[in-house]
Each structure stands twice: as structure tokens, then as C-alpha cells.
Amino acid sequence: MSKKKPGVIGILTGGGDVPGLNPAIRAVTIRALREGYQVIGIRRGWAGLIDLVRDKNADNSNNYMVLTEEIVNRAGRTGGTFLHTSRTNPPKVKRENVPAHLRDKYTEERNDLTEEVLKNLDFLGVDYLIPIGGDDTLSYAVRLYQEGFKVVAIPKTMDNDVPGTDYCIGFSTCVTRTIALTNNLRTIGGSHERIMVLEVFGRYAGFTAMLPTMAGAANRCVIPEWKFNIDRLTELLVYDRNRNPSKYSIVLVSEGAMFEGGEMVFQDRTTDAYGHAKLGGIGDLVASEVQNRSAQYNNGVPINIINQKLGYLVRGGDPDAIDSIVPMAFGNLALDLILKGIHGRLVVLKNGRYDNVPLDVVTGTKKVVDVEQFYNTERYRPKYESFEMKPLFIMTSEL
């Protein structure tokens, strides 16, 4: 590809989609074009850099596209990612997923295609890569940087669990949607005098259950960081219901939450490219067990349950205000670094200020709820105390 001075920037989105990705792509592209760069959108995350065929006559339209202001302006206010996404993990590609044109070279059960990724980036003439993703997507960005490629990363995940930053693109919209959907279900809970069990995202971190509960959307929440006692949870929910004039109560259940003595609940034994089994079902189990136990805390009268998985409803649709503003700032921060010749960084929000940190923070630590500081383990709800000098979302600070 012919290269425009001062260079070519590649951008991709990996992992689960969230509202705010398209605004981030738009911010990067418009600023980069005005600074004289060419911008290439890599399609389907890391998959586009694996599947690409290094032949100028090959049809690689499914793997990348040259971005223009017209393209990004059209998508910039919408949810999802117009570049599409995948959970491809280049260092561990299964033999059956190796592209056809590479199968003679890579024949192991699991194959490291990093060499091909680097060659494909060179074929495209990419000088800097801006991956937007969660800790899985960005862990491979760390690998590319260690291989010598210039990377500036942007954090994205509705779980808000990328280390090093108080905020990840998608989190605010997730919390906003969770509150709105939960409030919509109140009329049903009250009409039928039921306990509502709502399962939300959150594999290892409970932020997406904690913040809506703190905002008043639910009475209780159970999170991956603390194994809960089902009898205690039932007792609390029955208590909440019976003291509510409308006779209902609500618990938000993180998908990674665990019973005392139990483990995470999975849909099946299959795993994604990063080794994660698909979670799902903890809400069903909690609902069943709460209903079975409810009578002993309700004068012998069982209480019916409303059991709902909010799931993809909280990651669909347009971004809210924060997920329209933060991606714009993150994109411009990434360009600021590139213009200064700085790479190997993650753009972040820390204590209300935009900044950047070393990229390898992504693989060096984990970001989860500080249970001692923020979670009441007896009452299964956030601690409503010590908010002074906390960041916007209270419990996302690592300080």
C-alpha cells in the first residue's frame, strides 16, 4: 500500500462489543487524518490480521478498510463497532481455525501466528496500532509491543475491569441500561408481589452489579469477589420484600458470582480463544434456590420469583453521554502520544483526570472490587460510606 506521510495508523476493536466503540474509532480517525496520517481499520479484531493474504491482487476487503471522515462520521454516534469484532487470540489459534493459506505451515493443535500478524502489519504499511479492547484483547497488544511493534491502546469493557484505569468504554452505558431495565421490571415485581433475580455481566469483577445497586436499582447484589450464602441472601430478600409497601425486592447477580462452597456456573464445557468458558445460569440457580427457601423466612408461605437475564440488552443501542465523551477524549489522547513518538502506553482515566500508563499494566495485575472497602459482606450490598475524594464511579479507583 502507498503510504502517506507522516505514516499509517491501524485501529481495531476486539472482544465483546459495547456502545462507545464507534465514537472512539471516529475520534482517532478524524484527528489522525487532520494530522496527515492514513488510517486503516482492521476488521474483526485480531482475526483481520490473521486472515489477511499478503498479495496485492487478493481480496482483503473482509480484513481491513481505509477509513475516511465520511465513513466514521456516519457510524460515530451509534453503538456496536462497524469494524466488527471477534475473540481471536493469535498466539493460540486452533488448527481448524488457521486460515487456509497458512495451514501447510501451522499444523499444531494450537498455533502462534504472531509472525504472520507482524508481517501483515508490515504489508499494510501500519506504523502504529491502536487496539481498543478489554484485558484479553490488550494482553495480545502487550505481546506485539514486546515484539517491537508500536502500540497505543484504549481500554474497553462493560465490566470496567481493565487494570490501570478507573474507566473503560462501555461501562457507563451498561450501568445506565441496567438501572433503566431494572426500573422497568418494578411494575411487574410489584403487581405480583415477587422477588426479582436479575443476572448481569461480570465474570471476575462485580462493578456492573455494584453501581446499579448503589444507585438504588436493587436491594442487594452478589458479586464474583465474595461467595454468598444462599440462606442469608434469601432471608434478606424476603425481609426487603415484606417491608416494601409494593411487596417486591430485587437482587442483581453477577454472572461470575458463586455460592459458598461452589464455583462459577458455565453453560457448557466449550471455551473461547482465551480459554474462558461461557458463563450463564447462576441467575437461574439463585432464583430456584431463593424460591425453595422463601417460605421458611415468610411464615411458611412461599414467594414466587421473577428471573431475568439482562444480558445483551445492556450492551446494545447507542452510547450514553459518558460513552460518547470519554471515547472522544481517549482517541485524542492516543493521537497525542503518537504525535510525540510515544508508544507502549494505555490511555486512562485516573481520579477524574485523563492520563496514560505503561501498557503492560494490563497483564501485571487484576482489577476487581475491593471487598473490604466497598462491599458489605453481611448485607450483600455496597457500603454507603467514605465517598469523599473518590472518583466519579466511587469504587473504580485502585488507590
Burial class (CB in 10 A: 0-12, 13-18, 19+), 221: buried
pLDDT reported for residue 3: 47
The structural domains of the chain, with segments of one domain joined by +, span 8-169+317-364, 173-314+371-382
Check if 159 is active-site: yes
Can you tell me the distance from the alpha carbon of 9 to that of 13, in angstroms, rounded to the nearest whole number? Answer: 14
Catalytic residue among 51, 127, 159, 240: 159
Residues of 300-331 as b/e, b for ≥16 C-beta within 10 angstroms? eeebebbbbbbeeebbeeebbebbbebbbebb
Phi, psi of 199 (to 5 degrees): -85, 135
CATH number for the domain running over 8-169+317-364: 3.40.50.450
The count of other CB atoms within 10 Å of the CB of residue 261 is 7
- Per-residue pLDDT of the chain (399 residues), as tens digits, is 444 468 999 999 999 999 999 999 999 999 999 999 999 999 999 999 999 999 999 999 999 999 999 999 999 889 999 999 999 999 999 999 999 999 999 999 999 999 999 999 999 999 999 999 999 999 999 999 999 999 999 999 999 999 999 999 999 999 999 999 999 999 999 999 999 999 999 999 999 999 999 999 999 999 999 999 999 999 999 999 999 999 999 999 999 999 998 877 766 555 555 555 556 689 999 999 999 999 999 999 999 999 999 999 999 999 999 999 999 999 999 999 999 999 999 999 998 899 999 999 999 889 999 999 999 999 999 998 878 888 888 887 564
Same fold, 8-169+317-364 and 173-314+371-382: yes
Q: Which of 141, 142, 137 is nearest to 85 (CA)?
A: 137
Burial class (CB in 10 A: 0-12, 13-18, 19+), 139: middle
Of all helices (H) and strands (E), which one includes residue 381? strand 381-382
This prediction has a pTM of 0.93
The class of domain 173-314+371-382 in CATH terms is alpha beta
Can you tell me the distance from the alpha carbon of 199 to that of 205, in angstroms, rounded to the nearest whole number? Answer: 14
C-alpha cell at 234: 434469601
Q: 28, 335 in Cβ contact below 8 A?
A: yes
